[in-house]
């Protein structure tokens, strides 16, 4: 069965894409498949950047049957793979020497430039590169992606591979966070040559559930910046609404039900709720550890502001969101998940005070309510420490939920 037919049968390609890919990959057809039915031009994958996201992405490629070689500057991250018998390399250049495709997942534009163009970088041997395709899934500025793509296209291949006379690059940042990376349900936003995108689609769908072609080089990076801009502003809006609602006497769980069945429904309310105790399995349920660090959100918002400035666009909400996350980072919450804005930005408003209003993760009960009201609210949970610490003082219960 032809490559395109196999991919179409698996739901990877549409009928139109299948037809295009048959002609695109005709030079590959006589070479056949590996025993795992992976196209030969995608078989050897080098993965660089084994952090919270990259670790799971690389692991899913291994599960899918790809021959993976990995690199990271963190020895402990490398050891997790070497202990499983996965080849590790000390430099990006060494990874490139044994790979058909390179995937990078790095924290910033400067890290990407260093891995690609630095000493012992991926492009160190410009005159004879082994990889025919470079995929960068980092969240960086579109201009850096475009410059890298141009530089890569000027290099030479050690061996011509199908339609690629020169190596190619795709910018393919992802959405979904660590849970989606682990589950293999990421969404890829891809910019670059469409033929390369179609050829690489099996790789993307080994790590994710959806791929979206965004157009020419840099457009994937641009789409990711826009996505994260909207995500940050949404998280701030949802957090602010929860704080207001609690101070008006509405529990967070009640507001969540309202949001998720009304026009306020969004990812920040139904999948990544920022209020501790409302949703399990999200950073707010584990002291905002793990997830997407506030420092990375601040970085992405800075990228958005820079891109907006280059075209003379005013983005007041983006500017305010960036300032808030920069403030969180300055206060020492840089490594906490970005949903911690609910607790730490609004902490002055959430601290319960004797004689005023008592706050907890389930909502707010005015101090004048009698004991029967507290029993209805969940006094037994207070005694077991499931909501917060109760203090009986002058007939008032003061709760510090944090």
Handedness of CA 181, 185, 186, 192 (dihedral sign): positive
Gap between the Cα atoms of 81 and 87, Å rounded: 8
User: Which of the residues 161, 224, 295, 299 is marked catalytic?
Assistant: 224
The yes-or-no answer on residue 224 being catalytic is yes
What is the greatest pairwise CA distance in the chain?
85
Which residue in the block uniquely carries the two structure tokens 């918002």? 301
Note the helical H segments in 248-291: 252-260, 267-270
DSSP 180-214: HHHHT-EEEEEES-HHHHHHHHHHHHHHEEEEEEE
Distance, CA of 312 to CA of 253 (rounded, Å): 42
Taking residue 395's Cβ as centre, other Cβ atoms within 10 Å add up to 9
Residue 248 and residue 199 in contact, taking contact as beta carbons nearer than 8 Å: no
Which distant-in-sequence residues (6+ apart) come within 8 Å of 26 by Cβ? Answer: none
Pair 44, 101: CB distance under 8 Å: yes
Catalytic residue annotation: 224
């Amino acid at each position: 069965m032809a490559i395109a037919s196999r991919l179409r049968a698996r739901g990877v390609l549409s009928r139109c894409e299948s037809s295009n890919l048959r002609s695109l990959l005709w030079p590959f057809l006589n070479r056949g498949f590996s025993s795992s039915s992976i196209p030969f031009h995608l078989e050897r994958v080098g993965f660089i950047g084994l952090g919270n996201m990259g670790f799971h992405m690389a692991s899913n490629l291994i599960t899918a049957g790809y021959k993976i070689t990995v690199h990271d500057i963190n020895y402990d991250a490398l050891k997790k793979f070497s202990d499983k018998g996965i080849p590790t390399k000390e430099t990006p250049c060494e990874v490139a020497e044994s790979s058909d495709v390179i995937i990078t997942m790095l924290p910033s534009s400067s890290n990407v430039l260093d891995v690609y163009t630095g000493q012992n970088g991926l492009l160190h041997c410009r005159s004879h590169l082994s990889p025919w395709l470079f995929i960068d899934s980092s969240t960086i500025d579109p201009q850096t992606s475009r410059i890298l793509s141009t530089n890569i296209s000027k290099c030479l291949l050690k061996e011509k591979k199908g339609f690629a006379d020169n190596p190619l690059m795709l910018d393919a940042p992802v959405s979904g966070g660590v849970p989606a990376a682990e589950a293999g349900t990421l969404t890829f936003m891809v910019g670059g040559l469409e033929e390369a995108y179609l050829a690489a689609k099996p790789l993307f769908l080994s790590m994710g559930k959806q791929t979206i072609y965004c157009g020419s080089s840099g457009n994937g990076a641009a789409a990711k910046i826009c996505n994260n801009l909207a995500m940050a502003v949404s998280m701030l809006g949802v957090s602010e609404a929860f704080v207001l609602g609690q101070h008006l006497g509405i529990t967070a769980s009640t507001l969540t039900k309202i949001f998720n069945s009304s026009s306020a429904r969004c990812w920040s309310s139904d999948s990544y709720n920022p209020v501790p105790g409302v949703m399990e399995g999200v950073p707010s349920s584990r002291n905002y550890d793990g997830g997407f660090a506030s420092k990375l959100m601040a970085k992405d918002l800075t990228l958005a502001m820079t891109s907006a400035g280059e075209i003379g666009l005013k983005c007041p909400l983006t500017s305010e969101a960036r300032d808030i996350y920069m403030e969180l980072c300055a206060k020492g919450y840089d490594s906490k998940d970005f949903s911690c804005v609910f607790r730490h930005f609004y902490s002055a408003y959430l601290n319960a005070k004797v004689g005023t209003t008592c706050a907890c993760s389930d909502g707010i009960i005015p101090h004048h309510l009698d004991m029967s009201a507290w029993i209805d609210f969940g006094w037994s949970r207070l005694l077991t420490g499931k909501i917060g610490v109760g203090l009986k003082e002058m007939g008032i219960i003061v709760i510090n939920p944090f």
